[in-house]
Amino acid sequence: MFKTDLLADKVIVVTGGGTGLGKSMAVRFAELGAKVVLASRTLENCEKAAAEITQAGGAALPLRCDVRDYDSCEAMVKSTVGAYGKVDALVNNAAGNFLAQTESLSPNGFRTVVDIVLQGTFNATLACGRQMIAQGTGGNLLAIVATYVDTGSAYVVPSASAKAGVLAMMRSLAVEWARHKIRANAIAPGPFPTEGAWARLVPPGMGDSFEMFAKNRIPAGRYGDHRELADLAAYLLADGSAYVTGDCVYIDGGEHLMSGDFNALTQFDQQALGQMFAAMRPAKKQ
């Protein structure tokens, strides 16, 4: 889909880069010529992912970073500059989420998610953004949000609140930091199966039935493939998307569009549905 040197010489930091979608994006960026920094609280995961990238001929630096702590983010940026000389892009991918009835949610449970998603995104963005401004060469900020940033969602109130704040942050910085040639965008993924997220978000014992329910809500009729999201992220970090900023791109097979009043009818037998519609039409006057 892209030429192999699309991201050549770019230094891209990916928070939560050791596993899941973060790892998939980092691998793809490296394939396209970028030097990637994999940052996570769990250094072991980052080291494993970095080893895979380097064995495939790419350049990767694993770093321990707790995005909840600004000093940790600043140290991560310092190590990145020490190794690669600059920071060109940041992908805010680190996240936390779980299902809960809000009336049973503790203030600490709410704070835990907000600290990672909203505060953590701000910490990483501020540390990398200051470096980009000091370099004077511009840069890219990309946040992984969720399809419910505009609508909210039951049972994930902490995540919905935090992700909406992250999108507002990206759009605010797209304007404020444009003078520094820094772009800020977001991606809102639909269901992309990952081991970690699925364990927290699929109710126990509901695997098959939940999957059927979830796929029925997606017009495309399937889950997303990690490569599809990684390619979208690569495009948004590439020079060819230089006029795109302050945007949120949905990649969900059309799932977020299913709130329309009659969209659920797409799940009915279409031949029977057509007959039903025909029967509802008023009879023609003779």
In a domain, 122, yes or no: yes
Residue range 214-246, pLDDT digits in tens = 788 898 989 999 999 999 999 999 999 999 999
pLDDT value at residue 259: 73
Residue 6 belongs to a domain: no
Q: What is the predicted pLDDT for the residue at 24?
A: 97
Q: What is the pLDDT of residue 284?
A: 66
pLDDT of residue 157: 94
213 pLDDT band (50/70/90 cuts)? low
Q: How far apart are CA 112 and CA 194, in angstroms?
A: 21
Which pLDDT score, from 0 to 100, does residue 276 have? Answer: 77
Please report whether residue 16 resides in a domain: yes
Residue 80 resides in a domain: yes
pLDDT band at 275 (very low <50, low <70, confident <90, very high): confident
* Residue 51 within a domain: yes
* 187: Cβ contacts below 8 Å, ≥ 6 apart: 142, 143, 144, 145, 229, 232, 233, 236, 248, 249, 251
Q: How many CB atoms lie within 10 A of CB 181?
A: 14
Residue 198: is its pLDDT beyond 80?
no
Question: How confident is the model over 10-28, as a mean pLDDT?
Answer: 97
Answer yes or no: 223 catalytic.
no
Q: In the sheet that 59-64 helps form, which strands lie side by side, from edge to edge?
A: 59-64, 35-40, 11-15, 89-92, 139-144, 182-189, 248-251
Catalytic residue among 70, 148, 223, 235: 148
Q: What is the mean pLDDT of residues 140-167?
A: 95
Number of domain units in the chain: 1
| Mean pLDDT to the nearest integer, 91-119 | 95
68 lies in some domain: yes
Report the pLDDT averaged over residues 140-159.
Answer: 94
Question: Is residue 177 a part of any domain in this protein?
Answer: yes
pLDDT beyond 70 at 142: yes
Query: Residue written as tokens 């994006």?
Result: 25
CA distance 242 to 90: 15
Domain that holds residue 172: 11-280
The answer to whether residue 145 is domain-embedded is yes
Residue 115 token pair: 């600290």
pLDDT tens digits for range 36-76: 999 999 999 999 999 999 999 999 999 999 999 999 999 99
Is the overall model pTM greater than 0.75, yes or no?
yes
**What is the reported pLDDT for 201?**
56
**Cα–Cα–Cα angle for 231, 225, 48, nearest 5°?**
80
Give the CATH number for residue 63.
3.40.50.720
The whole-chain average pLDDT of the chain stands at 91
